[in-house]
Structures are given as structure tokens and as C-alpha cells.
Amino acid sequence: MIPKKIKNKLNKNLTSPNWARYDDIRATAWHEATGLLVEEWEEHIEAYCRDRGRDCFFGTNEFGRPVAVFDAKSNKEYVAKIKHERFLQEKNYDEIIKAQRTQR
């Protein structure tokens, strides 16, 4: 049997908002394992966005799962942000490789 202390801790994730887990991510997808209906999950995400003042839009991912994308109001805006971020990551990667080569 699962100890009551562990059950209470795990159940708290569903009964008390723990917004911090969303603060550093760009998107999150619904899954059956959340224990929430899609509508409940959507309301949960909307409450987070209101509380934190983040924009969000809902869509589906390549697997047909509902997904919430933060800090964008449309898919077009999200794609533009991701392209820019990939550019910055590639630029940083190139700089890291150059630094490693000069250290050899």
C-alpha cells in the first residue's frame, strides 16, 4: 500500500496549483496520465497564464495531443520565436566549438 504521506504529496499537485513547474517551459502537452479531462487541464493552464501574466494558445502536436504554448498568441508567432531561438543556439554552439578547438 502507498503511504498516506506520499499520496497526500502527490495529490497536492492536482489539488493545489504549483505554477513554478511551468515557469521555465515554452509548451506543455496534455496526457491521460495527468488524471485530468482535457477541459480540466485547459482550465488549469488558463489559470496559470492569468496568474503569471503569460500569453498562451492551444493547439495539437504531431501526435494529435492537445498542447499549450506559452508566450505566444498564435502558431505563427511561436514558430518565429522558435526559429530565432534555434538561430541563437546554433550561434552559441559554433562559439563553443571554436573555443574548444583553441583550447587544444
pLDDT digits (tens), the chain, 104 positions: 889 888 887 777 666 667 888 898 888 899 998 888 999 999 999 999 999 999 999 988 888 889 999 999 998 998 888 788 788 888 887 777 777 777 76
Give residue limits of the domains in the chain. 4-73
Query: Which residue, chain included where needed, has cell 504531431?
Result: 62
Kindly report the pTM of this predicted structure: 0.65
